[in-house]
Amino acid sequence: MKRSRTIVRVPVVAVKVPNSRKNGKNRSAKLVRSIRNVGLKKPITVSHRGKSNSYELVCGEGRLDAYSQLRQAEIPAIVTDLSTEECILMSLVENIARRRHTPVELVSDIGRLAKHYRVPDIAAKLDLGQDFVKAIIYLLKHGENRLVSAVERGIVPPTLALEIARAKNPAVQGALLESYVKDRHTARQIILIRQLVEQRHRATKRAEVATDQMTPEALARTYRQEMNRRQLIEQTAKLAHGRLIFIIGSLKKLLGERMFASVLRDQGLDKLPLPILRRMSAGPS
């Protein structure tokens, strides 16, 4: 991509805008006043089109429009050599990177940039995390309109929407989304619930999920059952660990008794398994 940094003056009427993105009236009026009072702070960028006085705008539609309103014949410009498609793309990137986004605009802009750029490039241009961008692109690509709408309305963050979308069944998706919104489950809990539902369906070998079973209440019940199960496992593990510590301590004391050690030798039981010896030498933990 060739790009000259030489600033020249080009006729305002000779610059065509291939993809107009008009600013609001208030912003346009402010720009006109600024240029009238202090002049143009930054030249526009245009691409030369064959004829000596024919150009396409790359960046700076607001400035060009302000010059037109001020009835200026020429405007300072940086002239480049870009195709029409490249002009439109650069204009889009500049406008996206410059403004503050609403969620709806952000989703839309990421979708348009995804047609031309890779995830790392989009993230860099918009100053966003790659996981964020990747989630939006996934939702758009897979037609997850309900989840895209939830992201646009700020109901659910994109990364969590991506996790919900991994539950292919619409009933499960809806229940997970409602559970996040109404029951105030954290993103981590929602991911765990989805994984639990998928595990249970694989275990029962059911391809379809009964819609009436996929409610926020049912998911919350599944989550509580799993938490209770894990708590029971943890308590059982702690009990077993305590008993092991007691047995190892008792055995160490017994082996310290000469008469007991002598009896073990006489019976050929003085050689302990290696794991037990290691555990005894490691001390209490």
Please compute the mean of the pLDDT values over residues 82-104 and round it to a whole number.
64
Tell me, what's the pLDDT at 274? 77
Read off the pLDDT band of 207 (50, 70, 90).
very low
**Which residues, including other chains, have CB under 8 Å from residue 136's CB and lie 6 or more apart?**
106, 107, 110, 111, 148, 151, 158
Q: Give CA–CA dist 58/92, Å, rounded.
A: 9
Least confident of 81-90, 143-152, 155-164: 81-90
Secondary structure tally for the chain: helices H, strands E: 13, 5
Burial pattern 143-175, b for ≥16 Cβ within 10 A else e, equals ebebbbebbbeeebebbbbbbbbebebebbbbb
Q: Which of 111-117's residues contact partners 24+ apart within 8 Å by CB, and which partners?
A: 111/136, 111/137, 111/140, 114/140, 116/89
Tell me, what's the pLDDT at 2? 46
Segments making up each domain of the chain, as ranges: 1-99, 100-166
Tell me, what's the pLDDT at 74? 92
**What letter does residue 153 receive in the DSSP assignment?**
T
**What letter does residue 33 receive in the DSSP assignment?**
H
pLDDT above 80: residue 241: yes
pLDDT above 80: residue 242: yes
First to last CA, the chain: 66
Contact of 55 with 15, CB cutoff 8 Å: yes
Half-sphere exposure of 193 (CA within 13 A, CB side): 29
Q: What pLDDT, in 10s, does the model give residues 59-78? A: 888 889 999 999 999 999 98
CATH topology of domain 1-99: 3.90.1530
Tell me, what's the pLDDT at 73? 92
Least confident of 11-25, 130-144, 170-184, 240-254: 11-25
pLDDT above 60: residue 285: no
- Residue 56 DSSP SS3: strand
Tell me, what's the pLDDT at 67? 92
